[in-house]
A = this chain, B = another copy of it.
């Protein structure tokens, strides 16, 4: 693990995509090479040695990556790591409370920071997916974390960036929210802290093995991936509190109906396009939701899960009945590639 000092950039941050080979300095640890106990020991030692007797912070989302980092960090630094849950208003139903209480049971205090207004204000009027992602990234690192770090006096941010995040961003497929150094952003200069990324050499399956070995419950180590910009990724077009609430309700239904499948990931997407429906004999021009459910081993490729038609029918019926304004539901039938896992 290296704390990289990459070329300096001037604020305001200019995102640039380096030549495809720049990330080759990061050596992947393949699943079959991974010894989780050894990996954990090494990372604890490395984190201790970098932070010394300084302070560090990290943001916990409750996903497997940030959860593993939280445990690694606390094992290395104990109370000198402060862990925050950034409630950006874009999370799933009850998720903030659930994550905080789950870590409380593990003996780790997580502080909830309510920043809904900051995120929604910044997202107002934005429809381009890359602009939305960059805005969420900027608000998160600059406004929210910049402030937390300044107030705490911490000089280090721990985060759960993994090998696939780097790969996809550097290849120019998708700007992952947690990619900074790899894009040439000197976080120390721009945001006032260094970023430490203990999981950078692992893909998701490796992270899951480490998380399980760290003693995290199955609810965490087997958790389907959920994107950094959260439900904002599941809304095409403008992100507003109302539109997030629509896709949040649909997410709850999709997760309830599909959690018993072996699928890699499943979620709904709210479209901006409206379609004609009919309610009680009258025209109802309403919203459309797409459901995606993926079979995938490595995120790099994927196929739509062959869900039985009675499951698809129940999904459509529940979503059009329980989510106000939705008149149409579709199911993704395209593989990755040429699709991607998420729609934006």
Contacts and interface: CB of A to CB of B under 8 A. Distances in A.
Interface of A: 129, 171-174, 236-237, 271-279, 281-286, 290-291, 304, 306, 309, 312-313, 315-317, 320, 327-340, 342-344
15 contacts: A171-B282, A172-B282, A173-B283, A236-B275, A271-B273, A272-B273, A275-B343, A276-B344, A291-B333, A312-B333, A315-B333, A320-B334, A327-B334, A328-B339, A328-B343
Count copies of this chain in the complex: 2
A265 to B, nearest CB: 15
A324 to B, nearest CB: 12
A285 B127 CA distance: 13
Contacts of A333: 291, 312-313, 315-316, 329-331
Q: Which of A129, A284, A290 has the most CB of B within 10 A?
A: A290
Given A282-B172, A283-B172, A333-B330, A273 B236 contact: yes
Contacts of A173: 276, 278, 281-283
A283 B278 CA distance: 37
Contacts of A332: 328-330
Contact of A330 (B174, B283, B331): B331
Contacts of A275: 236, 339-340, 343-344
Contact of A338 (B284, B315, B335): B284
B330 A276 contact: no
The 4 closest A-B pairs by CB, nearest first: A330-B330, A312-B333, A275-B343, A316-B334
Contact of A329 (B274, B282, B317, B334): B334
B328 A331 contact: no
Contact of A129 (B278, B285, B290): B285
Contact of A337 (B236, B278, B329, B343): B278
A68 to B, nearest CB: 27
B278 A340 contact: yes
A288 B290 CA distance: 11
A278 B283 CA distance: 37
A17 to B, nearest CB: 10
A291 B330 CA distance: 9
A312 B129 CA distance: 28
Given A129-B285, A273-B236, A285-B129, A278 B330 contact: no
Contacts of A344: 275-276
Q: Which of A278, A283, A304, A312 has the most CB of B within 10 A?
A: A278
